[in-house]
Amino acid sequence: MKRVIVLTGAGISAESGLKTFRDSDGLWEGYNIEDVATPEAWERNPELVQNFYNQRRKSVLEAVPNAAHYALAKLQDKYDVTIITQNIDDLHERAGSANVVHLHGIITRSQSSVKASLTYPIDGWEIKMGEKCELGSQLRAHVVWFGEAVPMIETAARLCSKADLFILIGTSLAVYPAAGLINYVPREVTKYIVDPNIPTASNKHIIEMPYKATIGVPMLVNDLLV
């Protein structure tokens, strides 16, 4: 089976009602990254940060996968598919994708605030102040903040280097190290980009599909399955 590596960003979940970060009306239009998505923010005001991610979790639990998530799951019929996602939602899994690598964590789990590798399932939508990990520290959302290490990046780079086909969907490629992953894909490998606003990527054999995910991804998957 040919190995397909898919790298997704916020754009694939936009039509499920989850805001992207950098589009106009994106999440970072209403918030300062420094206030909610850094270790310093957590030190300064843990309640605010906890509440911000509790709200994100609530939105994710209320959202459902869209045609793009389902099309990628269908691609597994004929290909060995691994999805590397920057998204903290679980919509790929809910649509039926079996191999999903979460580069930036997953909002449906909590994490120790002193040891990032300690993560736990969450009962309901909220992490409450006072809920602690096994080491006695406050639980926080299992997400990678700006300034924190990205533990899955080496796994992701290795996967990209082994791709027979590469698909990039709904990401502005503004945030490193994730944005650099496309450089690990061998130059001769065909790379599709599905995004109404095609990001700049310096690699060869790029096929641009300037469509929204729910249009472009099913179209591409149909082509790949014939």
Ranges within 93-152 binding ligand APR (CB under 6 A): 104
Which of 6, 10, 106, 107 touches ligand APR (CB under 6 A)? 10
180 binds ligand APR (CB under 6 A): no
Return the number of the residue (46 or 199) whose C-beta is nearest ligand APR: 199
Residue 117 marked in a binding site: no
Residue 17 phi, psi (nearest 5): 90, 5
Of 186 and 199, CB closest to ligand APR: 199
Is 31 assigned to a binding site? no
| 10 annotated ligand binder | yes
Q: How far is the CB of 131 from ligand APR (least distance, A)?
A: 24
Nearest to 191 by CA among 178, 204, 181, 180: 204
Q: Do the Cβ atoms of 198 and 207 come closer than 8 Å? A: no
CB of 211 to ligand APR, least distance (A): 7
Catalytic center residues = 104
State how far the Cα of 85 lies from the Cα of 65, in Å rounded to an integer: 14
Q: Among residue numbers 11 through 70, which ones bind ligand APR (CB under 6 A)?
A: 11, 14-15, 20-23, 26
| SS3 state of residue 143 | strand
**List of residues contacting ligand APR (CB under 6 A):** 9-11, 14-15, 20-23, 26, 86, 104, 170-172, 174-175, 195-197, 199, 212-213
Binding residues for NAD(+): 9-28, 86-89, 170-172, 213
